Each structure stands twice: as structure tokens, then as C-alpha cells.
């Protein structure tokens, strides 16, 4: 295309520019394809070599196989026939190491571990630690060999394509390949430096147990009977679990002592799971249960059957419970909960002409100030109060939080000047605007977000449910603040039937509190199983009743900013509920 009035000399640069752009455009797919091969094939080669040639070692007469991986299982993982022990946060790289015992003589292991388990575990740790440099060198060499093989294949593919197309041989082909090899090796070195820079020295503080190893954490008192009935191998099981427990004790030894334990449950939805809660509370000496609501399905008090309430009474008779109303709980459900001995209802939900009003409340529990705010919605309620669209319900939730905290927020400038202080050790305060909350429970995550916005630096931990899924370990703590989203302890109610959702696991957590009131760690359980149909504790207190597909994740917290003179103890008791 020529421009009117332009000379040939003036048009030539424009034509050359257009021609160059067209050549670059045509060459782009080939360029991208070549570099895709140079990236994908080396990674695939490294992954293949790591998988094909694991490191073999014998530690305390136990043969191990150590296999590296890319992308599939990051972190450090120990696999056994009884489950896995996983430490996912080793570095920022998607690189993993899996240790698997091979052809273990279980009777020999049982004898070795049974005679002096502590000494056996110490020797096992020491011998394996001595092998770590050799294992690391082996895996690094495998990665390098895999990358080189991948580059060689990429070069061969590229040269073959050029040959089939009849392209002329490039000058300085060898120099080009050497430059590419050097670039690849440089990338490998940079990746190694990134892995070193992102190494997490506290990787041992986040772990995850699966299978029988996790089930042992859940039902320590019942496993003997269970496995004697199933495979007569309890001695062997006990030895393997004992080894894992001894290693876990060494990790726990660095943590502060525990003054009390708090169990978090949510979204029971009439499931017959209170016997499970009772077994768990007994097994772990739980001192307090915090329940963030959705007890019913359709919001009516008549749904809480005598058998269901009996199971709840059995739990609350042994372990006190703090409860607040969820979006499936009407004022009638709340009133029923107030009649159960051992249950303290936080806040209140009352009906008005347009919908529902909610009030927040708090208690002094074992040295902690724990507050709760119900959900303003009710299943089948009018307008926004019965809606499911978050665009409609989120503003309603936030407005309810703002109204409930009107007397607590106080003067923003005054609040900011004293935001780092906490309430006195006994939980008292001169006025609501002086209160510092160790735990502020609500039902929905949007409520927790608004609580954080309204009370910056005055809430140490929020606790919610509603979404039927536990939040990720990486989202639990940020800048010392803890936000716990609990899954459905009732396994989701009727969502799998009504909405076609996949049935979530039965989920609950236990948090350890130190004598100085620091929250030190949380263990989170998830049981992928069907719910028992009976609310009878006699029929639902064994692992068989709930299945043994259990995951137990342990996360340690960094210290939070609280007063130095705090004291927490199960002997301090629980006060009556105070309105906010």
C-alpha cells in the first residue's frame, strides 16, 4: 500500500518495517515452540530420573527408599502402609522428597522398637541425619542429569525439524548449543539459590497425618479393639504408631506446655455426630467446645429431636460448650439451646417486623475473653434474611456486625492509640470500648472480615464456619492474627442432596492454650466417611462407626501480642454471658 504523494525513498522504510513485523509474526509460533521444548523437556527429564532412580538406604535395619519429585508432592513426606506423615512447607519450590520403608520385617521392627522405643527412635534419627548430605547430593545429581537429558532431547527434536524442513545448517551450531546449556545450568543454579533462600526453618511446625496414623490421633483408646478385630496385628501397629508418636513428642517438646484445650465445631446440621465429638473431647482432655452454629437444617426448633438433644446433653455434661446461632438457626432453635445444661449461648437473635436483630455477647472463660455474634439470617426468612446471593447477604451481614459493635468500637482515634494493649488477665475492662477479645466467634467469614475492620488489633483470633470447608494452613495466621474457618462437623447437612454438592468430610479442630494464654498450636481433623445413623453413644464411639480415612494436620502458631501478665487455666472457670 502506497501513500499518495510519497516518493519511493520515503515509502521504503515503511515497507521494510511491515515486512519485518510479518516475519516476526510468522516466526513466533516456532520460537515459542522451541523454548517450550527447552523448558518442558528438561523438567520432564528431571522428574523422570528422580522417579526412576530413588536412593536406597538402611537405617537401624529398616530399608528405605528416598524418591524426589517435581510438582506432585512438595515438601518432606514419609509413607507407610499405615498412612503418611507429610511436612509440606519445606521450601518455596514445588520440589518434594518422599521416604518409604521397603520390605520391612515387621516382627523384627516390633521387637527393636518395643525393647527401648526412645533409644530406637534416637538412633533412627541420628543415622538418618548422617545420610542427609548423601541423599541431597544424590537427588541434586539426578536433577542435573535429568535436565541435561531433557536439553539433549530438545536439541535433537529441534535439529530434526530443521532437517525435515530443509533448513540450512546454522553457523556456530556448537557454540549455540553450549550457550543454551550454560543458560540451562544457570537457571538450575538460580532455582537452587531460590530454594535455599526460601527454606523454612520451621517446616516441622506444619504437618499432616493420613490413614491409620491419623486415626490413631482420633481414637487412641479404641484402636486396640479395632485392629485386633480386623487383622490381629496390634503389636506391630503399636510399634509403628509408637515410633511416630516418639518423633512427634520431640517436635512438641519445643512448644510451651498446655494449660487447656479448645475444640472448634460447626455446622452440625442435625447429624448424629455428637458421640464422635464426645469421644474426641474425652480422648484429648478438651476443656471447652466452641460451636459456631447451624445446628438445624430448616431453622425450626422442632427439628431438634429428643435423641439428638440427648447426645448433645451428654457432651455438654462433660465439656462446657459456647454456642451461637447460624443462618439455619431461628430464635426458636436458640431458645432450645439455652435449655441445655452446660451450653452457654453467645449473643442473641430476635425477630422484628422486617427480619431479625442480633446482639453480641462474651464470656470470661479460663482466663480468655471469648465473644460471639449470631448470623442475622434464618433459613426461609423474609427478603435478604432468607437469601443465598452473597451480593444481597454480605451487606446485611456487615450491617449486623456494625450495629452489634456500636458500643464496642468507641472513638477510633482512642482505639488506635491503645490498640496494642489487651484486657487485664481476669478479662475485665472499664468499658466495652476497652475490651480485647482473645477469640471472637461468628458464623460466616464475611462477619469475621467486618469484625477485623471494626476492631483492628483488638481481636487475637476469629472463628467462623458456614462454608463447610476448613481454611488452608497458610491462611491461619498472618502478622500474629489467627483466623480459623472450621469445616462442617455434620458433613454438610443436605447440601449433597439439595444442591448436588460433594459431601465434605466431618471436620473439627483442637487448639492448645499455654499457661500464659498464648495459642500455641491447632490440630485439625477431617474424616472422609459416612455419618452414623444413630445418635446413641454406645453405637457410635468406635472408629468403625465413622471410618478410618482420617487426616490430621498440625499447625504451630507464632507468638501473639498479648500482655505479659496473662494467666490461663482450666481451674478459672467460665463466667455468665455478658452483652456487648
Show the domains of the chain with their CATH numbers: 16-206 (no CATH), 260-415+441-507+531-537+559-579 (3.60.21.10)
pLDDT at 295 over 90: yes
The H or E element spanning position 252 is: helix 234-252
Q: How far apart are CA 498 and CA 162, in angstroms?
A: 59
4-42 burial: b if 16+ Cβ within 10 Å, else e: eeeeeeeeeeeeeeeeeeeeeeeeeeeeeebeebbeebb
- Confidence class of residue 125 from pLDDT cuts 50, 70 and 90? confident
Query: What is the predicted pLDDT for the residue at 32?
Result: 64
Mean per-residue pLDDT for 374-378? 97
The per-residue pLDDT for range 391-419, each reduced to its tens digit, is 999 999 999 999 999 988 865 444 444 43
Cβ neighbours, 10 Å, residue 289: 26
Mean per-residue pLDDT for 480-488? 95
pTM: 0.76
- Confidence class of residue 492 from pLDDT cuts 50, 70 and 90? confident
Query: What is the predicted pLDDT for the residue at 170?
Result: 67
pLDDT at 500 over 70: no
Task: Give 432's DSSP letter.
Answer: G
**Residue with the larger pLDDT of the pair 391 and 61:** 391
Task: Give 184's DSSP letter.
Answer: H
Mean per-residue pLDDT for 522-531? 78
The radius of gyration computed from the CA coordinates of the chain, to the nearest angstrom, equals: 30
Cβ neighbours, 10 Å, residue 559: 12
Q: What percent of the chain lies above the pLDDT cut of 70?
A: 74
Q: How far apart are CA 206 and CA 464, in angstroms?
A: 21
Three cell numbers written together for 490: 455434620
Query: What is the predicted pLDDT for the residue at 534?
Result: 42
Query: What is the predicted pLDDT for the residue at 424?
Result: 45
Query: What is the predicted pLDDT for the residue at 193?
Result: 85
pLDDT at 467 over 60: yes
- Confidence class of residue 364 from pLDDT cuts 50, 70 and 90? very high
The H or E element spanning position 30 is: helix 8-52
pLDDT at 250 over 50: yes
Query: What is the predicted pLDDT for the residue at 519?
Result: 97
Query: What is the predicted pLDDT for the residue at 234?
Result: 43
Start-to-end CA distance of the chain, whole Å, equals 78
Which of 7-11, 99-103, 534-538, 547-551 shows the highest mean pLDDT?
99-103
pLDDT at 136 over 80: yes
Which residue is associated with the grid cell 512438641? Answer: 252
Alpha helices in 253-389 (DSSP H): 274-283, 306-318, 331-338
Mean per-residue pLDDT for 52-77? 85
The per-residue pLDDT for range 168-200, each reduced to its tens digit, is 776 676 777 777 777 777 877 887 788 888 888
- Report the mean per-residue pLDDT for the chain: 81
Closest to 184 in 3D by CA, of 212, 151, 153? 151
In contact, 371 and 441? CB cutoff 8 Å: yes
Cβ neighbours, 10 Å, residue 561: 13
Three cell numbers written together for 283: 480422648
Amino acid at each position: 500500500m502506497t501513500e499518495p504523494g510519497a516518493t519511493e525513498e520515503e515509502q521504503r522504510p515503511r515497507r521494510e518495517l511491515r515486512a519485518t513485523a510479518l516475519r516476526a509474526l510468522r516466526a513466533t509460533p516456532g520460537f515459542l515452540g522451541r523454548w517450550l521444548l527447552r523448558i518442558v523437556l528438561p523438567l520432564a527429564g528431571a522428574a523422570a530420573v528422580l522417579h526412576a532412580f530413588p536412593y536406597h538406604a538402611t537405617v537401624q535395619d529398616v530399608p528405605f527408599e528416598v524418591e524426589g519429585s517435581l510438582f506432585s508432592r512438595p515438601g518432606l513426606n514419609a509413607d507407610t502402609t499405615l498412612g503418611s506423615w507429610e511436612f509440606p512447607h519445606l521450601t518455596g519450590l514445588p520440589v518434594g522428597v518422599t521416604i518409604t520403608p521397603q520390605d520391612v520385617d515387621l516382627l523384627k521392627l516390633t521387637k527393636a522398637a518395643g525393647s527401648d522405643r526412645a533409644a530406637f527412635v534416637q538412633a533412627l534419627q541420628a543415622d538418618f541425619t548422617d545420610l542427609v548430605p548423601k541423599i541431597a547430593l544424590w537427588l541434586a545429581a539426578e536433577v542435573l542429569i535429568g535436565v541435561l537429558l531433557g536439553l539433549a532431547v530438545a536439541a535433537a527434536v529441534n535439529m530434526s525439524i530443521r532437517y525435515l524442513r530443509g533448513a540450512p545448517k546454522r553457523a556456530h551450531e556448537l557454540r549455540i548449543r553450549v550457550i543454551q546449556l550454560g543458560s540451562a545450568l544457570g537457571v538450575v543454579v538460580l532455582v537452587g539459590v531460590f530454594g535455599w533462600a526460601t527454606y523454612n526453618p520451621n517446616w516441622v511446625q506444619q504437618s499432616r497425618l493420613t490413614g491409620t496414623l491419623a486415626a490413631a490421633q482420633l481414637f487412641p483408646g479404641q484402636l486396640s479393639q479395632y485392629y485386633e478385630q480386623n487383622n490381629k496385628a496390634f503389636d506391630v501397629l503399636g510399634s509403628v504408631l509408637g515410633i511416630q508418636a516418639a518423633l512427634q513428642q520431640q517436635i512438641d517438646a519445643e512448644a510451651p506446655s498446655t494449660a487447656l484445650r479448645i475444640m472448634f465445631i460447626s455446622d452440625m446440621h442435625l447429624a448424629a455426630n455428637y458421640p464422635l465429638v464426645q469421644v474426641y473431647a474425652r480422648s484429648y482432655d478438651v476443656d471447652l467446645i466452641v460451636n459456631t452454629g447451624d445446628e438445624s437444617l430448616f431453622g425450626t426448633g422442632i427439628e431438634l429431636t429428643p435423641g439428638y438433644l440427648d447426645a448433645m446433653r451428654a457432651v455438654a455434661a462433660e465439656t462446657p460448650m459456647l454456642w451461637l446461632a447460624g443462618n439455619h438457626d431461628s430464635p426458636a432453635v436458640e431458645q432450645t439451646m439455652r435449655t441445655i445444661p452446660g451450653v452457654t449461648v453467645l449473643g442473641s437473635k430476635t425477630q422484628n417486623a422486617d427480619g431479625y436483630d442480633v446482639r453480641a455477647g462474651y464470656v470470661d472463660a479460663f482466663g480468655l475473653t471469648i465473644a460471639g455474634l449470631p448470623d442475622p439470617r434464618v433459613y426461609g426468612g423474609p427478603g435478604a434474611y432468607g437469601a443465598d446471593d452473597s451480593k444481597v447477604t454480605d451487606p446485611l451481614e456487615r450491617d449486623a456486625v456494625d450495629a452489634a459493635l456500636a458500643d464496642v468500637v468507641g472513638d477510633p482515634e482512642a482505639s488506635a492509640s491503645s490498640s496494642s494493649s489487651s484486657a487485664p488477665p481476669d478479662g475485665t475492662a472499664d468499658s466495652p470500648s476497652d475490651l480485647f477479645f482473645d477469640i471472637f466467634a461468628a458464623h460466616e467469614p464475611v462477619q469475621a472480615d467486618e469484625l477485623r475492620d471494626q476492631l483492628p488489633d483488638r481481636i487475637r483470633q476469629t472463628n467462623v464456619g458456614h462454608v463447610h470447608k476448613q481454611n488452608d494452613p497458610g491462611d491461619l495466621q498472618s502478622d500474629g492474627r489467627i483466623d480459623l474457618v472450621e469445616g462442617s462437623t455434620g458433613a454438610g447437612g443436605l447440601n449433597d442432596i439439595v444442591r448436588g454438592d460433594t459431601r465434605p468430610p466431618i471436620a473439627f479442630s483442637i487448639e492448645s492454650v499455654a499457661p500464659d494464654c498464648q495459642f500455641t498450636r491447632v490440630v485439625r481433623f477431617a474424616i472422609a466417611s459416612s455419618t452414623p445413623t444413630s445418635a446413641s453413644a454406645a453405637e457410635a464411639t468406635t472408629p468403625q462407626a465413622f471410618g478410618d480415612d482420617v487426616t490430621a494436620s498440625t499447625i504451630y502458631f507464632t507468638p501473639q501480642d498479648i500482655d505479659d501478665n496473662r494467666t490461663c487455666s482450666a481451674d478459672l472457670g467460665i463466667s455468665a454471658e455478658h452483652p456487648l
